Amino acid sequence: MGVEQDSTYRSIWADLRGVAFSQGWIDAGGTSTRYLHAGAKDKPALVFLHGVGGHAEAYVRNLKAHSSHFSTWSIDMIGHGWSDLSDSDLEIRHYIDHLLRFMDAAGIEKASLSGESLGGWVAARFAIDHPDRIERLVLNTAGGSQADPAVMERIKALSMRAATDPSWEFIKARLEWLMADKSKVYDDLVATRQAMYSRPGMEQAMRHNMILQDMEVRQRNILRAEDYGRIKAPTLVIWTSDDPTANVAEGRRIASMIPGALFTVMENCGHWPQFEDTALFDAMHVDFLLGKPVENARPVA
């Protein structure tokens, strides 16, 4: 007789079943940086970058599919997760500096970058400033192309409330904001972020993380048409039908500014499509990174 399993049970460990992975910390030029890694290190490097207030678990469901082809890293950016918190404001150049230091410490000469939200903003700027260090680029509901005061205030309010009072209710609300299907926010994910947001010093660190939601600061970091036009790496722009930061037209506009970029829309997903529809995301993402045709991804006319 077979053993009956509860298919409704969801956790980070369940997402990692069958995945050979490691968790560790690396000294990235003075910043203790936490990472999840899967795949042989002699394979081409891929680095996943999470959004503001996020952490490496944003890509926990994607490690298995990518580790067959890539030395796959998902990191906690500076000021986030279990990496060192920052005692000063973090603008895009600071995240790029941290990413460079991480790559150097990990022995990564060149990598494909895939970033969601803030991570996409950082990845795009990295591709502009350091074309010699990047292979391919994926911008996943990426930030950095606009400054919508209502969206900026919402992100800041939810994030600061969760960091100031890391109660179950507020942490869950912050995570649910990311999802089209709120039921995708399982308890283990809430508990994981709650532990991070309960770290000593996190409230002040979150203020430093939120500086990009200040209009003046955002405007001096924003990416404009001439910036996107300098991206040379093959690029895939992924948007979603239910993204809470911007509609599909904004994603299409970003793709139109990047020479040769492909654009696709994932239906019934919010700000974490890699988590909400993992099978579709992984299929498209792996194909693109391997240089294969991507179903339903087309250049913007």
State the catalytic residues: 271
Structure tokens at 145: 């192309």
Structure tokens at 26: 């690396």
Q: 99: helix, coil or strand? A: helix
Which distant-in-sequence residues (6+ apart) come within 8 Å of 270 by Cβ? 177, 178, 179, 180, 181, 240, 242, 243, 244, 276
How far apart, in whole angstroms, are the C-alpha atoms of residue 190 and residue 179?
13
Provide the terminal-to-terminal Cα distance of the chain, rounded to the nearest Å. Answer: 57
> What Å distances lie between residue 123 and 1, 130, 160, 243, 248, CA to CA?
50, 10, 24, 19, 20
| 195 secondary structure, DSSP code | H
